[in-house]
């Protein structure tokens, strides 16, 4: 019916010349492989000069540019100035390393470009279900549990805590909301819990006041008595305690709460037990470390990252929920345009639930593919060895710190995080804080290594969080040597 003469030529975003696009792809492939292979030869981070930042203030590009030119701009102004976390001496915050295979998988996933929010009888759904099943197995969760891959542990904590809130409310939370609830809903975590738990409490409308941040002991873990007292006090005050959040690997020190004890208290008190296992969950992989997270398998919900200690490229995390019904009661919603058919035919005729029924996102990317390919290729035993290797490296670093008279270890090394400082004799606390803050900056600026900083009981600490599959012991030797050298240089000024 379309008549040629009344039709404007139809355009597409497909390449005009597929062969030159292939040639460009090959250059990108070669460049990225070289970039990864030679990463050790470069500094972890180079401070991007002002001229680079200035380039990114160009006006809206109305007209096209050759794709090769755009790639050249990427090569000249984007690629040389990474944050640096693929480098063997990057241990700042908790950044993952990524892998070459993970990057390949992202290319494959974006080439297929499925929307994994739902539908059925397409492979991306099967891949994600499989990955979720594997994660349940690792965490010791039952097969009947539900799960979802997320952008990371922040979204996963949000989902787990939303299910907790809705499951334990004294009204129909989803319909009537928090303002209809009679008793003030309260949740508990240690003062060392990750800030995403507070952000979740705020976003969920509970307010940060509802989050009791319990003081920790010398081991940086929740004290059982402190928790039980807090619950008792809140009940006495007419509130509704509803959730305990355990940390498997705190950001500051890598401390792991006594998850077994928290599970027991939660059961006894009829509270939801959520675990933030961002990186610490992966201790479960190694037979010698597994005891540290004993009790994680008893959680009602468990949040974790795969882009940190499973070394996959950003972004990928996940959440498991023991009681699938509660999970669905919080999130499943089926407007007419997402109607589900019957009879096992057609894209909407297959199994429920869809992944949209487990979270707040309706469109979802195929992030499962990098997990599926990576876990199959490397094998989970290799991940276990690498987690163990990172812990041994952290212990090694702690020993170096303890052996150096110029350095103080500021917290016990429980997993893969080491907090220490340069402590010249005679200097006051304020001077030491300032000095160590400057040491961190210099280590970064001089391209030696990237630790980050934090405060441990008020003291500024140089902090190394090791989720890096490229680090070697010699990298920690260098860090200690340079920390002392720079510390003495700065102290002498």
Segment 221 to 240, residues that bind a copy of itself, using CB under 8 A: none
Q: Which residues from 296-355 bind a copy of itself, rule CB under 8 A? A: 305, 307-308, 311, 313-315, 317, 330-331, 333, 335-339, 341, 343, 345-349
Give me 393's structure tokens: 């490296």
213 interacts with a copy of itself by CB under 8 A? no
What 3-state class would DSSP assign to 421?
strand
60 interacts with a copy of itself by CB under 8 A? yes
When the beta carbons of 108 and 431 are compared against a copy of itself, the nearer one is 108
When the beta carbons of 263 and 421 are compared against a copy of itself, the nearer one is 421
Q: Kindly indicate which of the ranges 18-26, 221-229, 268-276, 408-416 contains the residues binding a copy of itself, using the contact rule CB under 8 A.
A: 18-26
For residues 214 and 225, the answer to whether their CB atoms sit within 8 Å is no
When the beta carbons of 333 and 488 are compared against a copy of itself, the nearer one is 333
Q: Kindly indicate which of the ranges 19-27, 262-270, 287-295, 424-432 contains the residues binding a copy of itself, using the contact rule CB under 8 A.
A: 19-27
When the beta carbons of 93 and 260 are compared against a copy of itself, the nearer one is 93
Give me 305's structure tokens: 């990252």
Q: How far is the CB of 267 from a copy of itself (least distance, A)?
A: 26
The residues pairing with 461 across neighbouring beta strands, listed in sequence order, are: 454
> For the range 27-33, what are the long-range contacts, defined as Cβ-Cβ under 8 Å and sequence gap of 24 or more?
27/71, 28/71, 31/75, 31/79, 32/100, 32/103, 33/100
Give me 150's structure tokens: 């997320």
62 interacts with a copy of itself by CB under 8 A? yes
When the beta carbons of 188 and 331 are compared against a copy of itself, the nearer one is 331
199 interacts with a copy of itself by CB under 8 A? yes
Q: How far is the CB of 399 from a copy of itself (least distance, A)?
A: 9
Q: How far is the CB of 343 from a copy of itself (least distance, A)?
A: 8
When the beta carbons of 116 and 266 are compared against a copy of itself, the nearer one is 116
For residues 361 and 117, the answer to whether their CB atoms sit within 8 Å is yes
Q: How many residues at the interface with a copy of itself, by CB under 8 A?
A: 195
Q: How far is the CB of 34 from a copy of itself (least distance, A)?
A: 9
Which residues in 74-155 belong to E strands, given as ranges?
146-150
| Distance of alpha carbon 263 from alpha carbon 296, whole angstroms | 8
431 interacts with a copy of itself by CB under 8 A? no
State the residue for tokens 């150096």.
404
Among 469, 479, 486, 487, binds a copy of itself (CB under 8 A): 469
What 3-state class would DSSP assign to 59?
coil
State the residue for tokens 């009981």.
457
267 interacts with a copy of itself by CB under 8 A? no
Q: Kindly indicate which of the ranges 228-236, 260-268, 372-380, 483-491 contains the residues binding a copy of itself, using the contact rule CB under 8 A.
A: 372-380
The residues pairing with 190 across neighbouring beta strands, listed in sequence order, are: 214
Q: Which residues from 80-139 bind a copy of itself, rule CB under 8 A? A: 80-86, 92-93, 95-104, 106-116, 119, 121-124, 126-127, 129-130, 133-134, 137-138
CA-nearest of 200, 194, 239 to 213 is: 194
The string of DSSP letters for 246-311 reads EEBS-TTT--B--HHHHHHHHHHHT-EEEEE-TTGGGGGGSTTTGGGGTTGGG-SEEEEESSSTT-
Q: How far is the CB of 362 from a copy of itself (least distance, A)?
A: 5
Query: One symbol per residue from 278 to 297: x for binding a copy of itself (CB under 8 A), - otherwise; what is it?
Result: --------------------
Q: Which residues from 169-198 bind a copy of itself, rule CB under 8 A? A: 172-181, 184-185, 194-196, 198
Those residues with Cβ within 8 angstroms of residue 127's Cβ, 6 or more apart along the chain or in another chain: 366, 368, 369, 372
Among 17, 20, 37, 268, binds a copy of itself (CB under 8 A): 37
What 3-state class would DSSP assign to 417?
strand
Q: Maximum distance among all alpha carbons in the chain? A: 89
| Distance of alpha carbon 240 from alpha carbon 178, whole angstroms | 12
12 interacts with a copy of itself by CB under 8 A? yes
Among 154, 266, 436, 466, binds a copy of itself (CB under 8 A): 154
Q: What angle do CA 489, 491, 493 make, to 5 degrees?
A: 75
For residues 374 and 136, the answer to whether their CB atoms sit within 8 Å is no
Among 233, 376, 429, 488, binds a copy of itself (CB under 8 A): 376
Those residues with Cβ within 8 angstroms of residue 24's Cβ, 6 or more apart along the chain or in another chain: 67, 68, 71
Among 266, 365, 416, 483, binds a copy of itself (CB under 8 A): 365
When the beta carbons of 268 and 489 are compared against a copy of itself, the nearer one is 489
When the beta carbons of 252 and 266 are compared against a copy of itself, the nearer one is 252
What 3-state class would DSSP assign to 408?
strand
Going by their DSSP bridges, the two strands 146-150 and 317-321 should be labelled as antiparallel
Q: Tell me 58's DSSP state.
A: P
Q: Tell me 261's DSSP state.
A: H
| Distance of alpha carbon 274 from alpha carbon 240, whole angstroms | 16
Query: One symbol per residue from 390 to 429: x for binding a copy of itself (CB under 8 A), - otherwise; what is it?
Result: --x---x---x-----------------------------
Among 429, 477, 488, 489, binds a copy of itself (CB under 8 A): 477
């Amino acid at each position: 019916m379309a008549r040629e003469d009344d039709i404007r030529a139809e355009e597409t975003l497909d390449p005009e010349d597929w062969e030159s696009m292939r040639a460009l792809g090959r250059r990108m492939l070669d460049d990225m492989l070289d970039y990864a292979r030679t990463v050790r030869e470069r500094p972890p981070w180079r401070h991007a000069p002002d001229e680079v930042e200035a380039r990114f203030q160009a006006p809206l590009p109305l007209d096209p540019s050759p794709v090769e030119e755009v790639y050249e701009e990427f090569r000249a102004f984007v690629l040389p100035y990474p944050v640096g976390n693929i480098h063997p001496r990057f241990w700042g915050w908790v950044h993952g390393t990524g892998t070459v295979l993970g990057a390949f998988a992202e290319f494959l996933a974006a080439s297929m470009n499925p929307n994994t929010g739902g539908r059925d009888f397409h492979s991306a759904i099967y891949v994600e279900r499989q990955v979720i099943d594997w994660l349940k197995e690792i965490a010791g969760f039952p097969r009947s549990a539900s799960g979802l891959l997320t952008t990371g542990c922040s979204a996963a904590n949000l989902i787990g805590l939303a299910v907790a809130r809705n499951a334990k409310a004294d009204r129909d939370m989803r319909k009537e909301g928090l303002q209809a609830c009679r008793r003030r809903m309260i949740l508990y975590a240690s003062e060392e819990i990750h800030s995403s738990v507070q952000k979740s409490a705020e976003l969920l409308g509970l307010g940060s006041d509802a989050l009791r941040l319990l003081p920790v002991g010398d081991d940086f873990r929740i004290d059982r008595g402190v928790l039980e007292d807090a619950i008792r006090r809140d009940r006495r005050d007419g509130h509704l305690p509803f959730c305990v959040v355990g940390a498997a690997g705190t950001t500051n020190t890598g401390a792991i709460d006594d998850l077994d004890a928290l599970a027991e208290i939660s059961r006894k008190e009829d509270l939801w037990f959520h675990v933030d296992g961002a990186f610490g969950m992966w201790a479960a992989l190694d037979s010698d470390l597994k005891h540290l997270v004993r009790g994680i398998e008893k959680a009602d919900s468990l949040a974790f990252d795969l882009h940190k200690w499973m070394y996959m490229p950003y972004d990928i995390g996940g959440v498991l929920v023991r009681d699938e019904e509660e999970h669905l009661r919080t999130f499943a919603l089926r407007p007419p345009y997402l109607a589900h058919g019957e009879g096992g035919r057609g894209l909407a005729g297959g199994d429920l639930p869809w992944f949209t029924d487990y979270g707040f996102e309706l469109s979802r990317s195929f992030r499962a593919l990098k997990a599926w390919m990576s876990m199959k290729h490397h094998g989970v035993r290799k991940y276990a060895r690498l987690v163990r290797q990172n812990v041994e490296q952290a212990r090694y670093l702690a020993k170096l710190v303890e052996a150096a008279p110029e350095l103080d270890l500021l917290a016990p090394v429980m997993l893969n995080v080491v907090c220490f400082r340069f402590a010249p004799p005679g200097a006051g606390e304020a001077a030491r804080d300032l000095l160590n803050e400057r040491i961190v900056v210099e280590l970064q600026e001089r391209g030696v290594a990237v630790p980050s900083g934090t405060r441990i009981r008020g003291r500024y600490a140089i902090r190394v969080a090791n989720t890096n599959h490229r680090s070697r012991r010699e990298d920690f030797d260098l860090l200690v040597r340079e920390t002392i050298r720079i510390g003495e240089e700065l102290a002498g000024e």
